[in-house]
Structure 1
Amino acid sequence: MDTMGAAPGTGPNTGPMSVVRRIPRKKTVGDLPTDRTLVMGVLNVTPDSFSDGGRFLARAGTAVDHESAVHAGLSLHYAGADIIDVGGESTRPGAQPVDEQEEQRRILPVLEALFTGGAVVSVDTRHPGTAAAAIERAPGPEHLLINDVSGLMTAEHMPQVVAEGGVRVIVTHNRGDAQTMQSRTDYVDVVAEVIGELEQIRDRYRQAGVPAERIILDPGIGFAKTAEQNWELLRHLDRVVSLGHPVLLGVSRKGFLGELLAASEGPREPEGRDAATLALSTLAAQAGAWAVRVHDVGPTLDAMKAVAEIQSR
């Protein structure tokens, strides 16, 4: 195992930080494959995310063990993840909000080290201040994406921050925050309404000066939707793809899969949902999705390559 000097801001330790291996240069979005659906690996630096919350907390309490988080992120990178999606605030239904300062304390040292390690990074944040801090620390706009799941509650200044930073943005459909979104599932036609509301959010970014090709759409599976509404959207993912923007799908280990796979003792635990996640990610690739966001990178990458081989003939 190689070592590298600790990246600025990685915590009080100034000695070597363990990494998986060296790479020669930093990747950009332009370096990513264009002949298959991309794989975005999930790295939650939070105490309360539904699947892996608390995984990177220091033993002393709630402080983040940044070295462990960086090691996990680089492991995803070397396992083949095209993008590492780093979050410092849980967006699961019912999660407590986190202020910008705490969010940045959790993720900025991790971002800096991942950039040093050569990864393309997506920052999962609803805070414009955190987005701006991430943009400031990125080697350049082609190394970073902003992934904002706020939906219709997107912060007023977020489009301007994205436009000025020149980065790509993932626009997710949502109708509320973690406390309220699951009470806002009143749809007449969920597919048509999700598409219409996605276009509303997208248009805010376009009006702020973000080029259309830098806007990625996410139908927001699990955000302000019931299980059946999630399934209905998945059946019609091609309609979201037909809007002409890159489409990201994130279903990994989500609760509606736990309900589908439930046994007598209750819903399937998150770690037992990877096979179902892989099936849906494969279908998304067949429907033309630009990327899938997953916890289990290796098998997903294999599946994306297999779909691409079929589609290339």
Structure 2
Amino acid sequence: MNTEQLEKIKTGKGFIAALDQSGGSTPKALKDYGVTEDQYDSEDEMFNLVHDMRTRIVASPAFTSDKIVGAILFEQTMDRTVEGKHTGDYLADKGIVPFLKVDKGLAEQKDGVQLMKPMPELDSLLSRANEHKIFGTKMRSNILELNKDGIDLVVKQQFDVAKQIIAAGLVPIIEPEVNINAENKADIEAYLADSILTELNKLNDDQLVMLKLTIPTNPNQYQTLINHQNVVRVVALSGGYSREAANNLLKANDGLIASFSRALINDLNVNQSDEEFDRILGETIESIYDASVNKNA
């Protein structure tokens, strides 16, 4: 583990950019960027186009380490290059800590949740991540209902895989997303916090994790988790909220910083001039940074 990067993630001012759209979410991300499905004929062409989008973002003069502490990458993005360097190396050289999305998507809904699909090749992927100097990983589950058995299954699966990731020398971001439209969202979040705390208390002192959580209905719901000795940082997903709404909700939560995806890239377009693109990206980054570091009294 890179101790300098660990300190950056633990104490750095700013937020984590989520640039990890995968196969299922890439067409929508490209469409939002102004690239429609009739503009590519194959999956390879699609991934080339989305890498061009990500390259434009991370190479922008607006994408800097004084506002962005880390960035989450898709597997293909890790394997590709930006300006002649592997993406993780490029980000690290900019002072931005690289993470890798490792999950393979969601299973069918059962017991009010969607667990992660099996990851039989995870050890191999973690080995490649280390070769590419990746600091940590991210994996997502989905919680849609107040089903305590289902929530416990999500948390247990996340922590079981997290221990495998820790053993490989990486820091896992555990992401049990609570759907923002879920009925009883606040009750789900209260139970989820307790379930996570139970698993955190089972970890050894040197087993460090991060958490990526939906911005809670009740401000500071996750304060106990933020302060836990095994938690490096707790970050928030935008979850379908508009950027303005997500920023306003985030400001009410002490110690919680952003890790936004859609809310980061929604106003960017392939047809924008470089000047316009950099200006809009800069304004977006500034607003998310402000919500992450300036909290409501």
TM-score by length of 1: 0.56
Where does residue 161 of structure 2 map in the other structure? 158
Where does residue 273 of structure 2 map in the other structure? none
Structure 1, gaps ≥5 residues long:
1-26, 88-103, 176-180, 222-229, 258-272
Where does residue 194 of structure 2 map in the other structure? 196
Aligned pair count?
A: 230
Residue 277 of structure 2 corresponds to residue 277 of structure 1: no
Structure 2, gaps ≥5 residues long:
105-118, 142-153, 265-280
Rate the CA distance shift 1:143–1:62 in 2: closer, same or farther, 3 A. closer
Instruction: Find the residue that maps to 1:196 and give its secondary structure.
Output: helix
Instruction: Find the residue that maps to 1:216 and give its secondary structure.
Output: strand
Where does residue 227 of structure 1 map in the other structure? none
> Is the Cα contact below 8 Å between 1:39 and 1:300 reproduced in 2?
no
TM-score by length of 2: 0.58
CA RMSD of aligned residues (A): 4.2
Instruction: Find the residue that maps to 1:154 and give its secondary structure.
Output: helix
Rate the CA distance shift 1:203–1:130 in 2: closer, same or farther, 3 A. farther
Rate the CA distance shift 1:280–1:307 in 2: closer, same or farther, 3 A. closer
Matches for 1:203-218 after TM superposition, within 5 Å: 206=203, 211-212=206-207, 214-218=208-212
Residue 138 of structure 2 corresponds to residue 138 of structure 1: no
Opposite residue 60 of structure 1, the aligned amino acid is: D
The one of 238, 251, 267 equivalent to 2:238 is 251
> Is the Cα contact below 8 Å between 2:235 and 2:256 reproduced in 1?
yes
Structure whose residues are more often strand by fraction: 2
Rate the CA distance shift 1:277–1:188 in 2: closer, same or farther, 3 A. closer
Rate the CA distance shift 1:202–1:153 in 2: closer, same or farther, 3 A. same
Residue 95 of structure 2 corresponds to residue 122 of structure 1: no
Opposite residue 52 of structure 2, the aligned amino acid is: H
Looking at structure 2, the residues matched to 294 and 310 of structure 1 have their Cα atoms a distance apart, in angstroms, of: 20
Opposite residue 250 of structure 1, the aligned amino acid is: L
Rate the CA distance shift 1:169–1:152 in 2: closer, same or farther, 3 A. same
Rate the CA distance shift 1:75–1:31 in 2: closer, same or farther, 3 A. farther
% identical aligned pairs: 8
Aligned-residue offset at 1:141? 8.8
> Is the Cα contact below 8 Å between 1:135 and 1:144 reproduced in 2?
no
Rate the CA distance shift 1:72–1:163 in 2: closer, same or farther, 3 A. same
Opposite residue 126 of structure 1, the aligned amino acid is: D
> Is the Cα contact below 8 Å between 1:162 and 1:210 reproduced in 2?
no
